[in-house]
Structure 1
Amino acid sequence: MSQPGQNNVQLRRAVASSYLGSLIEYYDFLLYATAAAVVFNKVFFTNLDPVVATVASFGTFATGYLARPIGGVIFGHFGDLLGRKRMLVLTMTLMGVASFLIGLLPGYAQIGGWAPVGLVLLRVIQGISVGGEWGGAVLMSAEHATSRRGLWASFTNAGAPSGVVVSTAALSGTVAIVGEDAFLAWGWRIPFLLSLVLLALGLFVRSRVEETPAFRAAQRGAPRRSIPFVAVLRDHPRTLLLSIGVGLSAFVAQSTITTFVLSYGVQVGHSRQTVLNALTISSACAIVGIIGWSAASDRFGRRPIVLAGAVAMAVYGFALFPLVDSGSAALLTLALVLGQSVLHPMMYGPLAALYTELFSTENRYTGASLGYQIAGLGAGFAPLLFAEIQRSTGGAATTAIAATMAGFCALTVICMLALKETSRQSLVAADSDGKSTVAS
């Protein structure tokens, strides 16, 4: 039997591993998002009209999100059967190699149409990887924790804005060193090539973490009755649908603020460096927001925090674009900080613990990954949808975009009210009655 001191050491290692692994995964994944907003339309789609090229660039960005549920099913299946740790090593390796290869990929000027094809294929590999990473990383922290599950699980979600900070800092630093012309020509590749360095660091940290106690206990229990994916669809269909609805608005808001606004800010006159600096600042502040609101959800419950965040974000969407349109770098930064660092973490931070609490141990990796990654499609398609709205409606686009954001937030409110509070629930109790999380 493990001693309390050993358990605490493993919890700290699990949290550090989950945070660093998530940071590395999202560094690679969101580095692509930033590059899609400011670089790829000029490198891989040079044969298209600038506005159409931006839509196409965001289209390749969306393919990664389409692949994420596939990664959730594949790695969730084997993670529920073989263990969380093994899958996390595989997902991290897959992501690091794919990002490195993007850094080597020739542009349209060199190989023509094969350039965007290669970009899409590597983006799909990225999506499969990050789709499998999140569920395992969250479970490594949550299943090692004996209390304050929201706090410890949130470090995985905090890895996303941390990845934004590192990726945008890498891009900004590269621009500052080589200049904008050289950056567009070849310098953008440097941050992608650095993925191998982060991969080596992440694999070292992850190798020191043991398998979770909950998974080991489940392995010693009754024999498995069915395939995890089938079990989730059969035993938790309503819970799965509600979990998707709860998370959808958080992802739509996330990609609106961190991806679409980057492109929009440049279009209305802000320099690329100004927009990247604002995103870096807001992402750094978001780390504190995610951890803080997640810790608050341990005390006040997941439902009140998520509901308040969804309502506030629905209102804030109508103020976001006027702040960006002001032309002021300070107001642009304020817009991103308020949205990404204060309001979005209320919806997003508690999701790590919430998704963990909705499913039983024997299919938790699969269930949590499916709910989260299908909801994550909102992040992949929101920039594409909003770019198309902007192209077709012109000056009225921002109001339509804000209204769309508000609609997704309303869906989150409805679905969250349909779920019971889960913050006081034992993960062992979830094994005996996974359906208890649905409100009557």
Structure 2
Amino acid sequence: MTTTHDLPAPAPRKAALASFMGSLVEYYDFFIFGTASALVFNKIFFPDFSSGAGTLAAFATFGVAYVARPVGAVILGHFGDRIGRQRVLVFTLLLMGASTFLIGCLPDYHAIGIAAPIALVTLRLMQGLSAAGEQSGASSLTVEHADSGKRAFYASWTLNGTQAGLLVGTLVFIPVAALPDDILLSWGWRVPFLFSSVVMLVAYLIRRSMPETPVFEKVKDSDGVSEVPLLVLLRHHWRGLVRVIACALISVMSTLFSTFALKYATDDFEVSKSSMLTVSVVANLVMLVSQPLWGLASDRVGRKPVFIGGALGCAVLAFPYLALITTGSFWVILIATVIIQSVVYAAANAVWPSFYAEMFPARVRYSGVAIGTQLGFMSSGFLPLVASAILGEGTLGWLPVAIVVAVCSLIAAGAASTALETNKTDTMQLGERTAPTEADSGPVLNGAPA
């Protein structure tokens, strides 16, 4: 049994680095699939479909991972709360890396027929299972290593890793997208997927040496870990779970920028693929600076003002953002994207790793954040599919899409307003202020039975 003097020392900077690198790999892999779905998968894996139907099929393949993610959240959350954050995070990294590399090796539809899209969907499901445990585990790891007054700042690097993954993925796709169609559709599209093995190795070497959090070790030493964390979560912390699900609807903004806007601008308004990918690069570079600053602001003024302000801003600005895409102007689209994505959306995005993690006690933190976010993130996964289905004709065709995005953002802001402010709460007391004691919550391990 772990004793108090054996507890590992907090390592906030190393935890932030491990979370940053892990998220970079996970979401490089995850987002290059979205880019490939928007640009090439309809022609490679669904060539017998019409152009519109092929696009819908490719976006459905993109979204199917979000169906797997709640399942992965339950499984990985269970083990993250049972055996620790660090070991599960190493597993998620290896699973994502292997799945992405194998996608790059897949034969296309012309080579093996219907087996090609089936294999693609299977590997996409594996990506979804992996991604389900990444950000929740990384945010739990970082929050539990950080000083009480700097949790949002350090946890924001988890999302900075996500933005860096999108940035690296976009940089890799810019020259790939510029290739002649015959090269792009034969082997060019495979390069970003095969390259993932390189960045995965770097992240693995960092993450495998990361110590377990002192908070989790203390829980094992004192109260014991739950045999079935999900039961404790549903019995005593269901309000926090529902709140996180609703707050996570803000994630529709991410796929609005990274997937739908890319397809909308290039197909309907003749903006070049390379121009839209350049917009993504600039926006994500700015977010690498803005998100830690929003994290620092949240540590000073609170999680709720920053998150709610960002969500309300997204609800309002979704309308002019999509309207400005119809201009087809590179500079107009760039400025609009930087404002709404890199400044406004960045506020909510930077804060949620600490905000959500602080709603749950350590015994169910991994499960609570994982399950809550993944159920909410399903809206994000299917936004490209829904948006493509409801998109109208002409310069106002974007209006139904903007309404859907605005409603999701308003729901997120409303849910956040019901949360307790936790920026000044001691780390060991997080999640305990609104829940009953767990003395009757069921069997525990490594501690006195309840």
Kindly report which structure 2 residues correspond to 1:382-401, keeping only aligned pairs within 5 A, or say none.
Answer: 382-390=383-391, 393-395=392-394, 396-401=396-401
Q: Could you tell me whether the CA contact under 8 Å between 2:358 and 2:431 is conserved in 1?
A: no
Q: Where does residue 266 of structure 2 map in the other structure? A: 266
* Cα distance in 1, alignment partners of residues 82 and 156 from structure 2: 25
Residue 418 of structure 2 is matched in structure 1 by 418
Tell me the residue number matched to 1:366: 367
Matched with 1:296 is: 297
Q: 1:225 to 1:286 in 2, by over 3 A?
A: closer
Q: Write the deviation string for residues 21-79 of structure 1: whole angstroms up to 9, x where unpaired.
A: 00000000011011111111121111111111111111011111111121111111011
| Equivalent residue, structure 2, for 1:240 | 241
Deviation at 1:435, TM superposition (A): 3.1
Cα gap change, 1:344/1:431 in structure 2, threshold over 3 Å: closer, same or farther?
closer
Q: Within 1, Cα distance between the matches of 2:109 and 2:402?
A: 34
CA distance in 1, matches of 2:181, 2:434: 53
CA deviation string 1:385-418 (max 9, x = no partner): 101112xx33343111111111112211221111
The answer to whether the 8 A contact 2:92-2:134 is kept is yes
State yes or no: 1:150 paired with 2:149: no
Question: 1:226 deviation in Å?
Answer: 4.6
Shift of 1:343: 1.2
1:167 alignment partner AA: G
Pairwise CA distance, 1:264? 0.4
Instruction: Give the distance between the partners of 2:224 and 2:332, measured in 1 at CA.
Output: 58
- Counterpart CA distance in 1 for 2:405 and 2:167 is 24
* Amino acid corresponding to residue 238 of structure 2 in structure 1: P
Partners of 1:257 and 1:339 within 8 A in 2? no
- Correspondence for 1:76: 77
SS at match of 1:428: helix
- Equivalent residues of 2:34, 2:62 under 8 A apart: yes
Letter in 2 for 1:380: G
Indicate whether 1:345 and 2:337 are aligned. Answer: no
Q: 1:28 to 1:434 in 2, by over 3 A?
A: farther
Cα distance in structure 2, aligned partners of 1:187 and 1:369:
34
Report the Cα offset of residue 285 of structure 1.
1.3
Residues in 2 aligned to 1:24 and 1:224: alpha-carbon distance in whole angstroms: 29
Alignment of 1:6-405 (within 5 A): 7=9, 10-146=11-147, 147-176=149-178, 178-248=179-249, 250-267=250-267, 268-390=269-391, 393-395=392-394, 396-405=396-405
CA distance in 1, matches of 2:224, 2:90: 26
Higher helix share: 1
What is the CA-CA distance between 1:180 and the residue it aligns to? Answer: 4.3
One-letter code aligned to 1:397: G
Give the stretch that moved more between structures: 222-231 or 115-124: 222-231
Q: Residue type matched to 2:63 in 1?
A: A
User: What is the rounded CA distance, in whole Å, between the counterparts of 1:434 and 1:185 in structure 2?
Assistant: 56
The CA RMSD over aligned residues, in Å, is 1.8
- Matched-pair contact (CA < 8 Å) for 1:358–1:434: no
Task: Using the TM superposition, give the Cα deviation of residue 289 of structure 1 relative to its aligned residue in structure 2, in angstroms.
Answer: 2.1
Q: Tell me, which stretches of 5 or more residues in structure 1 are unaligned?
A: none
Distance 1:336 1:435 in 2: 40
Please list every run of 5 or more consecutive structure 2 residues that lacks an aligned counterpart in the other structure: 437-450
- Structure 1 residues 153-192: Cα deviation after superposition (integer angstroms, max 9, x where no partner): 110011111111100111113345x544312221110110
State how many pairs are aligned: 430
Would the aligned equivalents of 1:360 and 1:434 in 2 still touch at CA under 8 Å? Answer: no
Check 1:432–1:413 CA distance in 2 against 1; reply closer, same or farther (3 A cut).
closer
Give the AA of the match of 1:99: T
The verdict on how the C-alpha distance between 1:431 and 1:394 changes in structure 2, with shifts beyond 3 A counting, is closer
**Does the aligned pair in 1 maintain the 2:295–2:350 contact within 8 Å?**
yes
Does the C-alpha gap of structure 1 residues 259 and 75 become closer, same or farther in structure 2, counting only changes over 3 Å? same
The superposition leaves residues 224-246 of structure 1 with CA deviations (integer Å, 9 ceiling, x where unpaired) of 45511111111111211111111
3-state SS, counterpart of residue 143 of structure 1: helix
Aligned residue number for residue 442 of structure 2: none
CA–CA separation in structure 2 for the residues paired with 1:302 and 1:431: 14
Compared CA separation, residues 3 and 57, structure 1 to 2 (3 A): same
TM-superposed CA distance for 1:301, in Å, is: 0.7
